[in-house]
Amino acid sequence: MGKKKLTLKSSSTAAVQSNALADDTADSSQDSSFFPFARYTSVVGVNSSLMVFVGLFLPRSTTLFDGAKSNASTQATSRDRPQHSFLEPITANPVSTLVYVCLGVIVLQAWWSAWLRDWWIDYSLKGTRDDKKMQKQSLDRRKLSQLGKAWIFAAGTSVFFHAVTVLLGAPLFSYVPQTYLSALLLAVLTVVPPAYTFGIPSLSSDTESLLTRLNWIRMFAEFRIYNPIERAVVYPAVGAVLGSWLGVIPIALDWDRPWQAWPLTPAYGALVGYITASLAALTVSGIKALAEEHLRSLRDSKQN
């Protein structure tokens, strides 16, 4: 019983310190001094490259699409218009394409979220080396449960996104697998990293839940970002939503191309938006870090 209380107290203290440190960071502009930008750059590059592979090559790398091609007659769009041979296995069966894209994105987001959580823990911990070690051990013991909660939260969010998509004009009774898979893809892109890194927002009244909820409101409702980690989470999530929304536009055009089948363009729009926003977050954080380093060097030269 005493160990449980100690763990809860330690986790709550870490949450309080992380938020207090974030507030101080906003004022003191020291958000880049802690951050491993070299590793961040390499991880973002690998993640973005693998996202491209998942979207363009993973659906083509399985023999199951040989059977999908034979079912091309089920497409709602006509097949009499020419398209590049590269797109054939991608547009032959949107359900199969989205299944493979979702599976690949799930693996990548689990890997990417692990990096973000480790960086966030290193950033949040405060005190002596022993204090940080004890706090990190306490948080590491909750890693698996936190990951499970993040994926459950993403599954629930996918149902919400599915309902919103239907309200915005998607078919209610037809194309149900396509609509849900696109909603699942969007949920995995937007929800898993913040849920695993910062915790899941809830309506509980305890201190940790309150601080987590306020953090989500600050980042995703007010768009107030205090450090590179939050920027690496918020920018891609917003980019994925905007990309999916803009990706609906080609469907309304009367080109009648196979790649306009629902919901290929919104799904790939979400991927493009996510990758673009991830690179934008890296660029902004890098520019801010260089600017702060330049100002710091000017202050040091004046003092000397």
Give the C-alpha distances (Å, rounded to integers) separating 223 from 160, 229, 288: 22, 14, 17
**What whole-number percentage of the chain has pLDDT above 70?**
78
| Average predicted confidence (pLDDT) for the chain | 82
Section 138-145 average pLDDT = 75
In whole angstroms, give the CA distance from residue 92 to residue 103: 18
In whole angstroms, give the CA distance from residue 132 to residue 121: 9
Q: Would 190 be classed as within a structural domain?
A: yes
Q: Would 23 be classed as within a structural domain?
A: no
**Is this model's pTM higher than 0.95 or not?**
no
Q: Would 10 be classed as within a structural domain?
A: no
Domain that holds residue 94: 41-62+85-303
Q: Would 189 be classed as within a structural domain?
A: yes
Q: How many domains is the chain built from?
A: 1
Q: Would 31 be classed as within a structural domain?
A: no
Residue 9 or 277, more confident? 277
Q: Is the pLDDT of residue 145 over 70?
A: yes
Q: Is the pLDDT of residue 13 over 80?
A: no
Section 8-20 average pLDDT = 42
Q: Would 9 be classed as within a structural domain?
A: no
Q: Would 26 be classed as within a structural domain?
A: no
Asked if 182 contacts 267 with a C-beta cutoff of 8 angstroms, the reply is: yes
**In which residue are the tokens 């996918």 written?**
158
Section 276-301 average pLDDT = 89
For the chain, the residue count is 304
Section 178-183 average pLDDT = 96
Q: Would 67 be classed as within a structural domain?
A: no
Q: pLDDT digit string (tens) for 37-75?
A: 889 999 999 999 999 999 999 988 765 544 444 444 444
Q: Is the pLDDT of residue 223 over 90?
A: yes
Q: Is the pLDDT of residue 275 over 50?
A: yes
Residue 228 or 70, more confident? 228
Q: What is the DSSP string of the chain?
A: -HHHHHHHHHHHHHHHHHHHHHHHHHHH--TTSS--HHHHHHHHHHHHHHHHHHHHTTTTS-THHHHHHHTGGG-SS-S-S---GGGHHHHS-HHHHHHHHHHHHHHHHHHHHHHHHHHHHHHH--SSHHHHHHHHHHHHTTHHHHHHHHHHHHHHHHHHHHHHHHHTT--SSSSHHHHHHHHHHHHHHHTHHHHHHH-------SHHHHHHHHHHIIIIIS----SHHHHHHHHHHHHHHHHHHHTTHHHHSTT--GGGSTTHHHHHHHHHHHHHHHHHHHHHHHHHHHHHHHHHHHHHHHH-
Residue 93 or 60, more confident? 93
Q: Is the pLDDT of residue 277 over 60?
A: yes
